[in-house]
Amino acid sequence: MQSSSLPLRSIGLLVLVVALSVVSSTAIAQDGAQKPVPRLEPGPLIDALPAGGYTILLRHAATAAFNPDLTTFDPNDCSTQRNLSELGRTQSRLIGDAFRKLGIRVGKVLSSPYCRCVETGSLAFGEDAVETSSALLVGAAKAGSGRNDPGIAIRKLLDTPPEPGTNTVLIAHSVTLLYAFGLKSRPEGVAHVFRPSGMDLGRPEYIGMVEPDDWPAHARIAVEETASPREASAAP
């Protein structure tokens, strides 16, 4: 796993306080721009991804119940954090497996440094593929607060084109989704897909949403559809 910016312990504590205080509120979304309207339903959206050119903002997979202790919380110590449940680990593996079966190429994988995000990316796309970024942590400022708006860095990442023929995956938290564009953050493992403008304006085109179970379900359908013609041609 690579690391572009590891947060200090004090920053991690501040991030946790902010996340706990706003994650259940819709105020963030209301302060930002109007919620984006999906252009594609999950099936057609997934079908478009093999061509590349998209940024996928993915909330970490399902987690186990855990109430972190603010006095001992350490962003570099998984034992002090809420981590993936067995369901979340299974979801992560199935998402990665679906990408491979569907021919969805992933170039860069950026993740929040929190363990649940890094593990989601590692299980889905491989440990060596994941690079951590503090930009995907929850900021200390409220959305819409000028140059301190934490959504600015997120929207810039969403609007950065991936390498040709590939897609970029950003793995983050529920509040990150709210800060970005007031996006739906449930269930855990939900993904929102954007097409970068390439103009560095932080205004990517919103394409739509994919829930965690949609990936393996669509991969199964694709495999069955591929197998059916072969079986028909092999019949006497």
| pLDDT tens, position by position, 29-48 | 333 445 788 999 999 999 99
Domain covering 2-234 assigned CATH 3.40.50.970 in the classification: no
**Cα 125–128–131 angle (5° rounding)?**
85
- What sign does the dihedral 144-145-150-152 (CA atoms) show? positive
Residue 169 main-chain phi, psi, to 5 deg: -115, 130
Task: Map out the domains of the chain as residue ranges.
Answer: 2-234
Half-sphere exposure of 128 (CA within 13 A, CB side): 0
Give per-residue pLDDT as tens, 180-191: 677 888 999 999
Residue 206 main-chain phi, psi, to 5 deg: -80, 130
Q: Is the pTM of this model over 0.75?
A: yes
Q: Please check the confidence at residue 20 and state whether its pLDDT lies above 80.
A: no
- Predicted confidence at residue 151, as pLDDT, reads 75
Q: Please check the confidence at residue 229 and state whether its pLDDT lies above 60.
A: no
